[in-house]
Structure 1
Amino acid sequence: MRKPHFFSCKTTPRSNSILVGCKFRIQETQKTGNLKNPAFRAVLLSFFLLFASCGTNTEVAQSPFVFITPVAVPQIFSITAKYDNLDPHRPEYDLKYYVTNLEPQFVGYNLYITFAIPSAGETTSGANLYLENGVQPSFPQLAVQASTANVVTQTIENLQPFSPVQMFQKCEVYTFTLRALLNTGITSNMSTPITRCSTIYPDHCGTNTSCNPTACTTSSCSSSTQALCPVGTACNPCTKGVAATGCACPAGESPPGCNL
Protein backbone atom coordinates (compact mmCIF):
# COMPACT_ATOMS: atom_id res chain seq x y z
CA MET A 1 0.00 0.00 0.00
CA ARG A 2 1.30 3.37 -0.95
CA LYS A 3 2.12 5.55 2.07
CA PRO A 4 -0.01 8.68 2.40
CA HIS A 5 1.59 12.04 1.91
CA PHE A 6 1.35 14.33 4.90
CA PHE A 7 1.45 18.06 4.63
CA SER A 8 2.67 20.34 7.39
CA CYS A 9 -0.16 22.62 8.48
CA LYS A 10 -0.13 25.15 11.27
CA THR A 11 -2.89 24.89 13.85
CA THR A 12 -3.57 28.56 14.19
CA PRO A 13 -7.15 29.77 14.27
CA ARG A 14 -6.69 31.46 10.93
CA SER A 15 -5.44 28.22 9.29
CA ASN A 16 -8.49 26.06 10.00
CA SER A 17 -9.38 25.88 6.34
CA ILE A 18 -5.85 24.76 5.50
CA LEU A 19 -6.08 21.97 8.13
CA VAL A 20 -9.33 20.65 6.69
CA GLY A 21 -7.77 20.57 3.22
CA CYS A 22 -4.81 18.65 4.57
CA LYS A 23 -7.02 16.00 6.22
CA PHE A 24 -8.99 15.54 3.00
CA ARG A 25 -5.85 14.90 0.96
CA ILE A 26 -4.63 12.29 3.47
CA GLN A 27 -7.96 10.39 3.35
CA GLU A 28 -8.14 10.50 -0.44
CA THR A 29 -4.65 9.07 -0.79
CA GLN A 30 -5.54 6.10 1.45
CA LYS A 31 -8.69 5.21 -0.58
CA THR A 32 -6.98 5.13 -3.96
CA GLY A 33 -4.32 2.86 -2.50
CA ASN A 34 -6.94 0.13 -1.66
CA LEU A 35 -7.33 -0.82 -5.36
CA LYS A 36 -3.82 -2.21 -5.36
CA ASN A 37 -4.40 -4.35 -2.28
CA PRO A 38 -4.33 -8.11 -3.26
CA ALA A 39 -6.96 -8.99 -0.69
CA PHE A 40 -9.30 -6.27 -1.95
CA ARG A 41 -8.92 -7.43 -5.55
CA ALA A 42 -9.70 -11.03 -4.55
CA VAL A 43 -12.97 -9.89 -2.98
CA LEU A 44 -13.93 -7.99 -6.14
CA LEU A 45 -13.11 -11.03 -8.30
CA SER A 46 -15.27 -13.34 -6.17
CA PHE A 47 -18.22 -10.97 -6.49
CA PHE A 48 -17.74 -10.83 -10.26
CA LEU A 49 -17.70 -14.64 -10.60
CA LEU A 50 -20.78 -14.93 -8.43
CA PHE A 51 -22.89 -12.65 -10.61
CA ALA A 52 -21.44 -14.05 -13.87
CA SER A 53 -22.72 -17.52 -12.99
CA CYS A 54 -26.27 -16.38 -12.30
CA GLY A 55 -28.90 -17.98 -14.57
CA THR A 56 -26.81 -21.10 -15.39
CA ASN A 57 -28.42 -24.37 -14.33
CA THR A 58 -25.62 -26.84 -13.65
CA GLU A 59 -27.93 -29.65 -12.54
CA VAL A 60 -29.56 -30.27 -15.98
CA ALA A 61 -27.70 -31.45 -19.10
CA GLN A 62 -27.60 -28.66 -21.66
CA SER A 63 -27.86 -31.13 -24.57
CA PRO A 64 -30.23 -33.94 -23.58
CA PHE A 65 -29.76 -37.41 -25.10
CA VAL A 66 -32.36 -38.59 -27.64
CA PHE A 67 -32.97 -42.34 -27.93
CA ILE A 68 -34.57 -43.62 -31.16
CA THR A 69 -36.16 -47.07 -31.12
CA PRO A 70 -35.69 -48.83 -34.49
CA VAL A 71 -38.82 -49.92 -36.36
CA ALA A 72 -39.57 -53.65 -36.07
CA VAL A 73 -38.57 -55.60 -39.18
CA PRO A 74 -41.37 -57.62 -40.89
CA GLN A 75 -40.81 -60.99 -42.54
CA ILE A 76 -42.31 -62.72 -45.58
CA PHE A 77 -44.08 -65.96 -44.66
CA SER A 78 -44.18 -67.27 -48.23
CA ILE A 79 -44.06 -66.13 -51.86
CA THR A 80 -45.14 -68.56 -54.58
CA ALA A 81 -45.91 -68.36 -58.29
CA LYS A 82 -49.61 -68.88 -59.11
CA TYR A 83 -49.61 -70.27 -62.65
CA ASP A 84 -47.51 -72.13 -65.18
CA ASN A 85 -46.38 -69.18 -67.24
CA LEU A 86 -45.77 -71.30 -70.32
CA ASP A 87 -49.53 -71.51 -70.96
CA PRO A 88 -51.77 -68.49 -71.76
CA HIS A 89 -51.70 -67.35 -68.12
CA ARG A 90 -49.25 -64.59 -67.38
CA PRO A 91 -47.03 -64.84 -64.26
CA GLU A 92 -48.44 -63.81 -60.90
CA TYR A 93 -47.42 -64.36 -57.29
CA ASP A 94 -49.13 -64.95 -53.97
CA LEU A 95 -47.42 -63.10 -51.10
CA LYS A 96 -48.19 -64.10 -47.50
CA TYR A 97 -47.07 -62.34 -44.32
CA TYR A 98 -48.15 -61.70 -40.73
CA VAL A 99 -48.77 -58.19 -39.37
CA THR A 100 -46.24 -57.93 -36.54
CA ASN A 101 -45.58 -54.19 -36.13
CA LEU A 102 -47.00 -52.53 -33.01
CA GLU A 103 -45.71 -48.95 -33.47
CA PRO A 104 -48.53 -46.35 -33.06
CA GLN A 105 -47.36 -44.62 -36.28
CA PHE A 106 -47.35 -47.86 -38.30
CA VAL A 107 -49.39 -47.53 -41.53
CA GLY A 108 -48.45 -50.61 -43.55
CA TYR A 109 -45.80 -52.49 -45.51
CA ASN A 110 -43.83 -51.54 -48.60
CA LEU A 111 -42.97 -54.32 -51.05
CA TYR A 112 -39.81 -54.19 -53.18
CA ILE A 113 -39.37 -56.44 -56.23
CA THR A 114 -35.95 -56.73 -57.85
CA PHE A 115 -33.95 -59.10 -60.05
CA ALA A 116 -31.29 -59.41 -57.34
CA ILE A 117 -31.09 -58.79 -53.61
CA PRO A 118 -31.61 -55.01 -53.29
CA SER A 119 -29.15 -52.78 -51.50
CA ALA A 120 -30.21 -50.62 -48.56
CA GLY A 121 -29.77 -47.55 -50.75
CA GLU A 122 -32.17 -48.92 -53.39
CA THR A 123 -34.96 -49.60 -50.91
CA THR A 124 -34.60 -46.35 -48.93
CA SER A 125 -34.67 -44.34 -52.18
CA GLY A 126 -37.92 -46.02 -53.22
CA ALA A 127 -36.39 -47.83 -56.19
CA ASN A 128 -38.34 -50.94 -57.31
CA LEU A 129 -41.19 -50.10 -54.92
CA TYR A 130 -44.42 -51.94 -55.69
CA LEU A 131 -47.36 -49.50 -55.54
CA GLU A 132 -50.92 -50.56 -56.36
CA ASN A 133 -52.20 -47.02 -56.98
CA GLY A 134 -49.05 -44.91 -56.97
CA VAL A 135 -48.96 -44.07 -53.25
CA GLN A 136 -47.29 -45.62 -50.23
CA PRO A 137 -47.60 -48.03 -48.51
CA SER A 138 -47.90 -51.01 -50.86
CA PHE A 139 -50.26 -52.69 -48.39
CA PRO A 140 -52.02 -50.49 -45.78
CA GLN A 141 -52.12 -52.11 -42.34
CA LEU A 142 -52.56 -50.92 -38.74
CA ALA A 143 -50.99 -51.97 -35.46
CA VAL A 144 -54.40 -53.16 -34.18
CA GLN A 145 -54.30 -55.84 -36.91
CA ALA A 146 -51.11 -57.38 -35.52
CA SER A 147 -51.45 -61.14 -35.20
CA THR A 148 -49.30 -64.24 -35.59
CA ALA A 149 -52.42 -66.37 -36.10
CA ASN A 150 -53.95 -64.68 -39.14
CA VAL A 151 -51.83 -64.70 -42.28
CA VAL A 152 -52.40 -61.92 -44.84
CA THR A 153 -52.39 -62.92 -48.52
CA GLN A 154 -51.72 -60.41 -51.30
CA THR A 155 -51.87 -61.19 -55.01
CA ILE A 156 -49.00 -59.59 -56.93
CA GLU A 157 -50.12 -59.39 -60.56
CA ASN A 158 -47.42 -57.13 -62.01
CA LEU A 159 -43.80 -56.29 -61.49
CA GLN A 160 -44.90 -52.66 -61.59
CA PRO A 161 -48.66 -52.04 -61.61
CA PHE A 162 -48.67 -48.29 -61.85
CA SER A 163 -47.64 -45.87 -64.62
CA PRO A 164 -46.51 -47.65 -66.71
CA VAL A 165 -47.62 -51.24 -66.04
CA GLN A 166 -44.80 -53.82 -66.27
CA MET A 167 -45.72 -57.50 -66.28
CA PHE A 168 -43.64 -60.32 -64.81
CA GLN A 169 -41.55 -62.14 -67.43
CA LYS A 170 -41.73 -65.87 -68.08
CA CYS A 171 -38.98 -68.05 -66.60
CA GLU A 172 -37.48 -65.07 -64.73
CA VAL A 173 -36.38 -65.08 -61.09
CA TYR A 174 -37.48 -62.19 -58.83
CA THR A 175 -36.48 -61.18 -55.30
CA PHE A 176 -39.04 -59.89 -52.79
CA THR A 177 -38.48 -57.88 -49.59
CA LEU A 178 -40.76 -56.02 -47.17
CA ARG A 179 -40.24 -52.85 -45.09
CA ALA A 180 -42.58 -51.49 -42.42
CA LEU A 181 -43.61 -47.86 -43.01
CA LEU A 182 -44.50 -45.24 -40.37
CA ASN A 183 -46.62 -42.14 -41.01
CA THR A 184 -43.48 -40.06 -40.39
CA GLY A 185 -41.88 -41.53 -43.52
CA ILE A 186 -39.45 -43.70 -41.54
CA THR A 187 -39.08 -47.30 -42.73
CA SER A 188 -37.70 -50.41 -41.07
CA ASN A 189 -34.74 -52.41 -42.29
CA MET A 190 -35.69 -54.79 -45.07
CA SER A 191 -36.92 -58.31 -44.41
CA THR A 192 -34.95 -61.41 -45.34
CA PRO A 193 -34.90 -61.45 -49.19
CA ILE A 194 -36.95 -64.26 -50.79
CA THR A 195 -36.08 -65.30 -54.35
CA ARG A 196 -38.69 -67.13 -56.46
CA CYS A 197 -39.07 -68.21 -60.09
CA SER A 198 -42.08 -66.81 -61.95
CA THR A 199 -43.36 -70.29 -62.89
CA ILE A 200 -44.45 -73.30 -60.83
CA TYR A 201 -42.72 -75.57 -63.38
CA PRO A 202 -39.18 -74.21 -63.79
CA ASP A 203 -38.02 -77.46 -65.37
CA HIS A 204 -40.23 -76.53 -68.35
CA CYS A 205 -38.13 -73.44 -68.96
CA GLY A 206 -35.25 -73.46 -71.41
CA THR A 207 -31.84 -74.62 -70.25
CA ASN A 208 -29.63 -71.93 -68.74
CA THR A 209 -32.52 -69.52 -68.15
CA SER A 210 -32.93 -67.76 -64.80
CA CYS A 211 -35.44 -70.38 -63.60
CA ASN A 212 -33.54 -73.37 -64.96
CA PRO A 213 -29.76 -72.85 -64.86
CA THR A 214 -27.58 -75.49 -66.49
CA ALA A 215 -26.27 -76.71 -63.13
CA CYS A 216 -29.86 -77.37 -62.02
CA THR A 217 -30.82 -79.56 -64.99
CA THR A 218 -29.32 -82.76 -63.60
CA SER A 219 -30.70 -84.84 -60.72
CA SER A 220 -27.20 -85.97 -59.71
CA CYS A 221 -26.24 -82.49 -58.43
CA SER A 222 -24.53 -81.89 -55.10
CA SER A 223 -26.41 -80.81 -51.95
CA SER A 224 -24.74 -77.39 -52.09
CA THR A 225 -25.98 -76.90 -55.67
CA GLN A 226 -29.44 -78.14 -54.74
CA ALA A 227 -29.75 -75.40 -52.12
CA LEU A 228 -29.22 -72.79 -54.87
CA CYS A 229 -31.56 -74.24 -57.50
CA PRO A 230 -35.22 -73.15 -57.82
CA VAL A 231 -37.76 -75.63 -56.46
CA GLY A 232 -39.13 -77.67 -59.38
CA THR A 233 -35.89 -78.13 -61.31
CA ALA A 234 -34.33 -81.56 -61.83
CA CYS A 235 -31.75 -80.82 -59.15
CA ASN A 236 -34.35 -79.66 -56.60
CA PRO A 237 -37.66 -81.34 -57.55
CA CYS A 238 -40.98 -80.59 -55.87
CA THR A 239 -41.22 -83.53 -53.46
CA LYS A 240 -43.02 -82.19 -50.36
CA GLY A 241 -45.77 -79.97 -51.79
CA VAL A 242 -48.04 -79.74 -54.79
CA ALA A 243 -46.56 -78.29 -57.98
CA ALA A 244 -49.94 -76.97 -59.15
CA THR A 245 -50.01 -74.56 -56.17
CA GLY A 246 -46.38 -73.48 -56.40
CA CYS A 247 -45.05 -76.43 -54.40
CA ALA A 248 -45.95 -74.84 -51.08
CA CYS A 249 -44.59 -76.75 -48.09
CA PRO A 250 -47.05 -78.90 -46.12
CA ALA A 251 -47.41 -78.10 -42.41
CA GLY A 252 -44.20 -78.88 -40.56
CA GLU A 253 -42.09 -79.19 -43.72
CA SER A 254 -39.34 -76.92 -45.00
CA PRO A 255 -37.09 -76.68 -48.09
CA PRO A 256 -35.52 -78.24 -50.08
CA GLY A 257 -38.27 -79.75 -52.19
CA CYS A 258 -40.87 -77.03 -51.50
CA ASN A 259 -41.30 -73.31 -50.99
CA LEU A 260 -42.32 -71.95 -47.62
Structure 2
Amino acid sequence: MGNLKTPVVQAVLFSFFLFFASCGTNTEVTQSPFVFLTPVGVPQIFSITAKYDNIDTHKPEYDLKYYITNMEPQFVGYNLYITFAIPSAGETLSNANLYLENGVQPSFPQLAFQASTSNVVTQGIENYQPFSPVQMFQKCEVYTFTLRALLNTGITSNMSTPITRCSSIYPDHCGTNTSCNPTACTVASCSTSTQSLCPVGTACNPCTKGVAATGCACPAGQSPPGCNL
Protein backbone atom coordinates (compact mmCIF):
# COMPACT_ATOMS: atom_id res chain seq x y z
CA MET A 1 0.00 0.00 0.00
CA GLY A 2 2.91 2.28 0.67
CA ASN A 3 3.90 2.20 -3.00
CA LEU A 4 0.51 3.68 -4.02
CA LYS A 5 1.48 6.88 -2.28
CA THR A 6 4.56 7.51 -4.41
CA PRO A 7 4.22 10.31 -7.05
CA VAL A 8 5.25 8.01 -9.93
CA VAL A 9 2.66 5.33 -9.15
CA GLN A 10 -0.04 7.98 -8.62
CA ALA A 11 0.72 9.54 -12.03
CA VAL A 12 0.49 6.17 -13.77
CA LEU A 13 -2.83 5.33 -12.11
CA PHE A 14 -4.23 8.76 -13.02
CA SER A 15 -3.23 8.25 -16.69
CA PHE A 16 -5.05 4.89 -16.79
CA PHE A 17 -8.15 6.52 -15.29
CA LEU A 18 -8.19 9.24 -17.97
CA PHE A 19 -7.72 6.68 -20.75
CA PHE A 20 -10.65 4.50 -19.71
CA ALA A 21 -12.86 7.48 -18.87
CA SER A 22 -12.46 8.88 -22.40
CA CYS A 23 -12.70 5.52 -24.21
CA GLY A 24 -15.50 5.52 -26.83
CA THR A 25 -15.99 9.27 -26.72
CA ASN A 26 -15.70 11.22 -29.99
CA THR A 27 -14.64 14.73 -29.10
CA GLU A 28 -14.69 16.02 -32.71
CA VAL A 29 -18.29 15.30 -33.84
CA THR A 30 -21.46 16.34 -32.06
CA GLN A 31 -23.22 13.19 -30.90
CA SER A 32 -26.91 12.52 -31.53
CA PRO A 33 -28.72 9.31 -30.59
CA PHE A 34 -31.53 9.91 -33.10
CA VAL A 35 -31.81 9.38 -36.88
CA PHE A 36 -34.34 11.58 -38.69
CA LEU A 37 -35.87 10.39 -41.98
CA THR A 38 -37.65 12.85 -44.27
CA PRO A 39 -40.59 11.26 -46.12
CA VAL A 40 -40.31 11.22 -49.91
CA GLY A 41 -42.60 13.78 -51.57
CA VAL A 42 -45.79 12.24 -52.98
CA PRO A 43 -46.43 13.01 -56.68
CA GLN A 44 -49.90 13.55 -58.15
CA ILE A 45 -51.44 12.74 -61.51
CA PHE A 46 -52.64 15.87 -63.33
CA SER A 47 -54.83 13.92 -65.76
CA ILE A 48 -55.24 10.53 -67.38
CA THR A 49 -57.43 10.27 -70.49
CA ALA A 50 -58.19 7.63 -73.10
CA LYS A 51 -56.91 8.47 -76.58
CA TYR A 52 -59.31 6.63 -78.88
CA ASP A 53 -62.88 5.44 -79.23
CA ASN A 54 -61.86 1.81 -78.95
CA ILE A 55 -65.13 0.40 -80.23
CA ASP A 56 -63.62 0.56 -83.74
CA THR A 57 -60.32 -0.93 -84.89
CA HIS A 58 -58.16 1.24 -82.62
CA LYS A 59 -56.69 -0.45 -79.58
CA PRO A 60 -57.06 1.40 -76.25
CA GLU A 61 -54.31 3.80 -75.17
CA TYR A 62 -54.00 6.56 -72.58
CA ASP A 63 -52.29 9.92 -72.14
CA LEU A 64 -50.85 10.47 -68.67
CA LYS A 65 -49.97 14.00 -67.53
CA TYR A 66 -48.14 15.03 -64.36
CA TYR A 67 -45.86 17.72 -62.95
CA ILE A 68 -42.37 16.92 -61.67
CA THR A 69 -42.54 18.02 -58.03
CA ASN A 70 -39.86 15.94 -56.27
CA MET A 71 -36.63 17.72 -55.40
CA GLU A 72 -34.84 15.09 -53.32
CA PRO A 73 -31.17 14.75 -54.42
CA GLN A 74 -31.64 10.97 -54.78
CA PHE A 75 -34.80 11.29 -56.90
CA VAL A 76 -34.55 9.32 -60.16
CA GLY A 77 -38.10 9.29 -61.49
CA TYR A 78 -41.67 8.04 -61.13
CA ASN A 79 -43.09 4.54 -61.06
CA LEU A 80 -46.54 4.06 -62.61
CA TYR A 81 -48.89 1.34 -61.37
CA ILE A 82 -51.89 0.22 -63.44
CA THR A 83 -54.54 -1.96 -61.81
CA PHE A 84 -58.19 -2.92 -62.18
CA ALA A 85 -58.90 -1.61 -58.68
CA ILE A 86 -57.22 0.77 -56.22
CA PRO A 87 -53.94 -1.02 -55.34
CA SER A 88 -53.05 -1.85 -51.78
CA ALA A 89 -49.84 -0.57 -50.20
CA GLY A 90 -48.49 -4.10 -50.28
CA GLU A 91 -49.10 -4.42 -54.02
CA THR A 92 -47.21 -1.25 -54.87
CA LEU A 93 -44.37 -1.98 -52.45
CA SER A 94 -43.94 -5.41 -54.05
CA ASN A 95 -43.96 -3.73 -57.50
CA ALA A 96 -47.07 -5.66 -58.56
CA ASN A 97 -48.63 -4.12 -61.69
CA LEU A 98 -45.61 -1.84 -62.18
CA TYR A 99 -45.51 -0.29 -65.66
CA LEU A 100 -42.04 -0.74 -67.19
CA GLU A 101 -41.22 0.08 -70.81
CA ASN A 102 -38.11 -2.10 -70.93
CA GLY A 103 -38.14 -3.97 -67.63
CA VAL A 104 -36.07 -1.37 -65.75
CA GLN A 105 -37.22 1.02 -63.03
CA PRO A 106 -38.33 3.77 -62.91
CA SER A 107 -41.27 3.88 -65.32
CA PHE A 108 -40.37 7.47 -66.22
CA PRO A 109 -36.80 8.65 -65.49
CA GLN A 110 -36.70 12.22 -64.15
CA LEU A 111 -34.29 14.29 -62.08
CA ALA A 112 -34.78 16.86 -59.35
CA PHE A 113 -33.48 19.77 -61.46
CA GLN A 114 -36.44 19.21 -63.83
CA ALA A 115 -38.96 20.02 -61.09
CA SER A 116 -41.57 22.50 -62.29
CA THR A 117 -45.17 23.37 -61.51
CA SER A 118 -45.63 25.12 -64.85
CA ASN A 119 -44.42 22.49 -67.33
CA VAL A 120 -46.68 19.45 -67.51
CA VAL A 121 -45.12 16.17 -68.64
CA THR A 122 -47.14 13.97 -71.02
CA GLN A 123 -46.49 10.23 -71.31
CA GLY A 124 -48.26 7.98 -73.81
CA ILE A 125 -49.34 4.70 -72.19
CA GLU A 126 -49.82 2.25 -75.06
CA ASN A 127 -50.18 -1.03 -73.19
CA TYR A 128 -51.35 -2.32 -69.83
CA GLN A 129 -48.06 -4.23 -69.61
CA PRO A 130 -45.51 -3.17 -72.23
CA PHE A 131 -42.73 -5.59 -71.34
CA SER A 132 -42.31 -9.38 -71.26
CA PRO A 133 -45.00 -10.26 -72.23
CA VAL A 134 -46.87 -7.34 -73.79
CA GLN A 135 -50.49 -7.03 -72.66
CA MET A 136 -52.80 -4.57 -74.38
CA PHE A 137 -55.53 -2.57 -72.67
CA GLN A 138 -58.95 -4.16 -73.07
CA LYS A 139 -61.85 -2.36 -74.75
CA CYS A 140 -64.51 -0.90 -72.45
CA GLU A 141 -62.50 -1.78 -69.33
CA VAL A 142 -61.86 0.58 -66.39
CA TYR A 143 -58.28 0.95 -65.11
CA THR A 144 -56.79 2.66 -62.05
CA PHE A 145 -53.53 4.64 -62.22
CA THR A 146 -51.20 5.69 -59.39
CA LEU A 147 -47.68 7.18 -59.23
CA ARG A 148 -44.84 6.77 -56.72
CA ALA A 149 -41.60 8.75 -56.64
CA LEU A 150 -38.47 6.55 -56.66
CA LEU A 151 -35.08 7.32 -55.06
CA ASN A 152 -31.79 5.73 -56.13
CA THR A 153 -31.71 3.99 -52.75
CA GLY A 154 -34.78 1.97 -53.75
CA ILE A 155 -37.06 3.91 -51.39
CA THR A 156 -40.42 4.99 -52.86
CA SER A 157 -42.96 7.58 -51.79
CA ASN A 158 -46.52 6.87 -50.78
CA MET A 159 -48.77 6.42 -53.80
CA SER A 160 -50.57 9.33 -55.43
CA THR A 161 -54.34 9.73 -55.31
CA PRO A 162 -55.71 6.86 -57.45
CA ILE A 163 -57.31 7.96 -60.75
CA THR A 164 -59.81 5.61 -62.42
CA ARG A 165 -60.54 5.93 -66.15
CA CYS A 166 -62.43 4.00 -68.82
CA SER A 167 -60.33 2.82 -71.77
CA SER A 168 -62.75 4.52 -74.21
CA ILE A 169 -63.36 8.25 -74.68
CA TYR A 170 -67.01 7.35 -75.33
CA PRO A 171 -68.10 5.08 -72.47
CA ASP A 172 -71.72 5.30 -73.59
CA HIS A 173 -70.70 3.48 -76.79
CA CYS A 174 -69.71 0.45 -74.72
CA GLY A 175 -72.16 -2.36 -74.16
CA THR A 176 -74.58 -2.08 -71.26
CA ASN A 177 -73.29 -3.51 -67.98
CA THR A 178 -69.63 -3.40 -69.06
CA SER A 179 -67.04 -1.84 -66.73
CA CYS A 180 -67.20 1.44 -68.66
CA ASN A 181 -70.99 1.53 -68.94
CA PRO A 182 -72.70 -0.18 -65.99
CA THR A 183 -76.46 -0.50 -66.23
CA ALA A 184 -77.00 2.13 -63.52
CA CYS A 185 -74.92 4.60 -65.56
CA THR A 186 -77.13 4.34 -68.66
CA VAL A 187 -79.94 6.30 -66.97
CA ALA A 188 -79.77 10.08 -67.43
CA SER A 189 -81.99 10.70 -64.41
CA CYS A 190 -79.68 8.85 -62.02
CA SER A 191 -79.06 10.00 -58.46
CA THR A 192 -76.12 12.21 -57.45
CA SER A 193 -74.53 9.34 -55.51
CA THR A 194 -74.72 7.09 -58.59
CA GLN A 195 -73.33 9.82 -60.83
CA SER A 196 -70.16 10.08 -58.73
CA LEU A 197 -69.47 6.39 -59.41
CA CYS A 198 -70.11 6.44 -63.17
CA PRO A 199 -67.37 7.01 -65.78
CA VAL A 200 -67.35 10.49 -67.32
CA GLY A 201 -69.13 10.33 -70.68
CA THR A 202 -71.94 7.97 -69.69
CA ALA A 203 -75.60 9.05 -69.78
CA CYS A 204 -75.59 9.39 -65.98
CA ASN A 205 -72.37 11.44 -65.90
CA PRO A 206 -72.07 13.46 -69.15
CA CYS A 207 -69.36 16.02 -69.88
CA THR A 208 -69.97 19.39 -68.24
CA LYS A 209 -67.71 21.17 -70.73
CA GLY A 210 -66.57 20.29 -74.24
CA VAL A 211 -66.94 16.75 -75.55
CA ALA A 212 -65.56 13.38 -74.57
CA ALA A 213 -63.03 13.48 -77.42
CA THR A 214 -61.27 16.42 -75.75
CA GLY A 215 -61.17 14.75 -72.35
CA CYS A 216 -64.24 16.42 -70.80
CA ALA A 217 -62.32 19.45 -69.54
CA CYS A 218 -63.38 20.86 -66.18
CA PRO A 219 -64.74 24.43 -66.07
CA ALA A 220 -62.81 26.78 -63.77
CA GLY A 221 -63.37 25.87 -60.14
CA GLN A 222 -65.13 22.59 -60.92
CA SER A 223 -63.98 19.03 -60.33
CA PRO A 224 -65.42 15.60 -61.21
CA PRO A 225 -67.98 14.17 -61.70
CA GLY A 226 -68.72 15.56 -65.16
CA CYS A 227 -65.10 16.20 -66.11
CA ASN A 228 -61.75 14.48 -65.84
CA LEU A 229 -59.15 17.20 -66.44
Alpha carbons 2:208, 2:219 under 8 Å: kept = no
Which residue in the other structure is 2:6 paired with?
Answer: none
1:88-103 pair list within 5 angstroms: 88-103=57-72
Instruction: Provide the aligned length of Structure 1 versus Structure 2.
Output: 215
Which residue in the other structure is 1:146 paired with?
Answer: 115
Tell me which of 207, 217, 220 is aligned to 2:189. Answer: 220
The answer to whether 1:78 aligns with 2:47 is yes
The answer to whether 1:55 aligns with 2:55 is no
Alpha carbons 1:171, 1:199 under 8 Å: kept = yes
Alpha carbons 1:174, 1:197 under 8 Å: kept = yes
Q: Which has the larger radius of gyration?
A: 1
- SS of aligned partner of 2:117: coil
The answer to whether 1:195 aligns with 2:164 is yes
1:177-188 pair list within 5 angstroms: 177-188=146-157
- Structure showing the higher strand proportion among its residues: 2
Per the TM alignment, residue 76 of structure 1 is displaced from its structure 2 partner at its CA by 0.2
Inter-partner Cα distance in structure 2 for 1:85 and 1:146: 34
Per the TM alignment, residue 52 of structure 1 is displaced from its structure 2 partner at its CA by 10
- SS of aligned partner of 1:54: helix
Inter-partner Cα distance in structure 2 for 1:54 and 1:239: 76
RMSD in angstroms over aligned alpha carbons?
2.2
Inter-partner Cα distance in structure 1 for 2:176 and 2:139: 13
Can you list the C-alpha shifts for 1:58-107, whole angstroms capped at 9, x where unaligned? 99998721111010000000000000000111100000000000000000
Alpha carbons 2:126, 2:136 under 8 Å: kept = yes
Inter-partner Cα distance in structure 2 for 1:176 and 1:238: 21
Inter-partner Cα distance in structure 2 for 1:234 and 1:208: 13
TM-score, normalised to structure 2, is 0.87
Tell me which of 64, 73, 78 is aligned to 1:109. Answer: 78
Which residue in the other structure is 1:39 paired with?
Answer: none
Instruction: State the percentage of identical aligned residues.
Output: 85
The answer to whether 1:173 aligns with 2:142 is yes
Unaligned runs of 5+ in 2: 2-13
When residues 241 and 256 of structure 1 are mapped into structure 2, their CA distance, relative to the original with a 3 A threshold, is farther
Inter-partner Cα distance in structure 2 for 1:162 and 1:97: 22
Inter-partner Cα distance in structure 2 for 1:241 and 1:55: 76
Inter-partner Cα distance in structure 2 for 1:176 and 1:206: 23
Tell me which of 94, 106, 129 is aligned to 1:160. Answer: 129
Inter-partner Cα distance in structure 2 for 1:200 and 1:194: 15
Inter-partner Cα distance in structure 2 for 1:62 and 1:146: 35
Per the TM alignment, residue 258 of structure 1 is displaced from its structure 2 partner at its CA by 1.3
Tell me which of 37, 41, 46 is aligned to 1:68. Answer: 37
Inter-partner Cα distance in structure 1 for 2:26 and 2:99: 52
- SS of aligned partner of 1:203: helix
Alpha carbons 1:241, 1:257 under 8 Å: kept = no
Inter-partner Cα distance in structure 2 for 1:79 and 1:196: 7
Inter-partner Cα distance in structure 2 for 1:135 and 1:58: 43
Alpha carbons 2:76, 2:109 under 8 Å: kept = yes
The answer to whether 1:133 aligns with 2:102 is yes
